[in-house]
């Protein structure tokens, strides 16, 4: 009896293996929604590129402002939503970028458009110098520390008489004309620079989050101790993200004050305009996603257009909207959609999908 069972066992095992093949999985980096979304994104870009040829100055200026806030929101989302670095002092790099543009254009004789990336580089250098100080802090203390650094910059620039001191300075007419002799051409060039900054910021961050660096950021955000234990250099990663975010923020600051043609310490380092509104955008849109800042920026400008005439009630209503969204959808509007419908336009995560038997070779 025992011999019969042992001889029958291999046959039974081979039959089971033949009837139930091993499951085959594949790594999925895109979804049907993201493929359709790519077409929509290209169509939207085509429309934005064509705007100067059929719209007036007011729509162009509004789109530039939207592009600026979108880039600021994406860089702050990279810090807080992807790396876990909650900063409330990003206005420091907006101001540094703006003053770097005025300094290089007025005192250095550099074309203002060429000074925009130089302003981003200047902000990145200051970020690299202050990073060792603020990275000694953790959690809420890090957030407060970044705000203190921004205030130090504001007070410092208010003492520089060559840059107008506390009252600020305007961009001379000769410097403005150096961009282009014709006013329409100047506005066209500034428009395309703003669009390029917004599109470049979204594209570069999206590419970074889909790379191995994105996996390292996600691991560090979830647990810095655990990510360090598996070989991720958390200090170097945080430093790189902080400096990269400062570079993008500095370029936005340069563009903002190039469009305004005037700068002052209070305007350049304003925490409400350049940090509080940006946090609102990311929180209601969806932190940790690419789509979140896009949706949040559009909703912010929609609410601003509807509520701007209400005075102080405007900020109160914005606060109420943020509270309601955080209570009803803690991950933001995009996070709620993703949770309910598994819908991604910009997927940044890899997924394992079971290969259907008909597609297996």
What CA–CA distance (Å, rounded) separates 130 from 146? 9
- pLDDT averaged over every residue in the chain: 87
Decide: 280 and 72 in contact? Cβ < 8 Å.
no
Packing angle, helices 277-285 and 313-328, rounded to 10:
30
Output the 3-class SS for 13-49: HHHHHHHCCCCCEEEECCCHHHHHHHHHHHHHHHHHH
Residue 7 has pLDDT above 50, yes or no: no
pLDDT tens column, 265-306:
999 999 999 999 999 999 999 998 999 999 999 999 999 999
Angle among Cα 226, 229, 234 to the nearest 5 degrees reads: 80
Mean pLDDT of 131-146: 92
Residue 188 has pLDDT above 80, yes or no: yes
**Nearest CA-CA partner of 300 in 105, 70, 129:** 70
Report helix, strand or coil for 355: coil
> How many residues can be counted in the chain?
361
pLDDT tens column, 217-241:
888 887 777 888 878 888 899 999 9
Report helix, strand or coil for 66: helix
What CA–CA distance (Å, rounded) separates 328 from 280? 15
Pairing mode, if any, of strands 169-170 and 262-263? antiparallel
Sequence-ordered strand ranges (E) for the chain: 25-28, 169-170, 262-263, 351-354
Report helix, strand or coil for 158: coil
pLDDT at 2: 44
The whole-angstrom distance between residue 279's C-alpha and the CA centroid of its chain comes to 11
* Strand (E) or helix (H) holding 219: helix 212-222
Mean pLDDT of 60-81: 95
Residue 50 has pLDDT above 70, yes or no: yes
Q: What are phi and psi of 85, to 5 degrees?
A: -105, 95
C-alpha R_g of the chain: 25
Report helix, strand or coil for 87: coil
Ordered by where they begin, the domains of the chain are: 24-359 (1.10.3470)
**Nearest CA-CA partner of 247 in 88, 74, 107:** 74
For 121, residues 6+ apart whose C-beta sits below 8 A from its C-beta are: 247, 250
Packing angle, helices 277-285 and 57-77, rounded to 10:
70
Decide: 335 and 292 in contact? Cβ < 8 Å.
yes
pLDDT at 355: 64
pLDDT at 21: 63
- What is the pTM for the complete model shown? 0.88
**Nearest CA-CA partner of 173 in 118, 105, 222:** 105
What CA–CA distance (Å, rounded) separates 147 from 274? 12
For 9, residues 6+ apart whose C-beta sits below 8 A from its C-beta are: none
Residue 115 has pLDDT above 60, yes or no: yes
Angle among Cα 87, 91, 92 to the nearest 5 degrees reads: 90
pLDDT at 6: 45
């Amino acid at each position: 009896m025992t011999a019969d069972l042992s001889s029958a066992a291999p046959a039974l095992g081979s039959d089971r293996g033949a009837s139930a093949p091993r499951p085959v999985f594949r790594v999925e980096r895109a979804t049907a929604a993201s493929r359709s979304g790519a077409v929509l994104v290209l169509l939207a870009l085509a429309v934005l590129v064509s705007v100067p040829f059929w719209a007036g100055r007011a729509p162009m200026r509004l789109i530039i402002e939207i592009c600026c806030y979108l880039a600021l929101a994406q860089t702050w989302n990279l810090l807080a939503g992807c790396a876990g670095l909650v900063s409330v002092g990003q206005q420091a790099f907006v101001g540094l970028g703006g003053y770097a543009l005025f300094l290089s254009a007025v005192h250095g004789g550099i074309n203002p458009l060429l000074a925009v990336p130089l302003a981003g580089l200047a902000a990145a250098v200051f970020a690299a110098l202050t990073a060792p100080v603020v990275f000694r802090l953790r959690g809420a203390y890090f957030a407060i520390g970044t705000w203190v650094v921004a205030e130090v910059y504001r007070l410092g620039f208010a003492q520089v008489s060559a840059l107008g001191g506390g009252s600020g300075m305007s961009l001379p007419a000769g410097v403005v004309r150096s961009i282009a002799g014709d006013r329409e051409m100047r506005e066209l060039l500034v428009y395309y620079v703003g669009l390029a900054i917004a599109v470049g910021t979204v594209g570069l961050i999206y590419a970074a989050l889909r790379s191995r660096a994105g996996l390292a950021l996600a691991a560090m955000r979830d647990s810095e101790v655990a990510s360090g234990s598996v070989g991720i250099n958390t200090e170097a990663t945080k430093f790189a993200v902080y400096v990269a975010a400062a570079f993008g923020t500095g370029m936005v600051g340069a563009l903002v004050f190039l469009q305004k043609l005037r700068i002052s310490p209070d305007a350049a380092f304003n925490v409400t305009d350049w940090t509080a509104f940006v946090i609102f955008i990311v929180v209601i849109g969806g932190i940790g996603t690419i789509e979140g800042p896009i949706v949040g920026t559009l909703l912010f400008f929609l609410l601003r257009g509807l509520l701007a005439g209400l005075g102080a009630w405007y900020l109160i209503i914005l606060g109420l909207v943020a509270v309601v969204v955080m209570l009803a959808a803690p991950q933001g509007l995009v996070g709620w959609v993703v949770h309910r419908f598994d819908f991604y336009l910009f997927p940044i995560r890899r997924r394992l999908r079971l290969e259907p038997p008909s597609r297996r070779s």
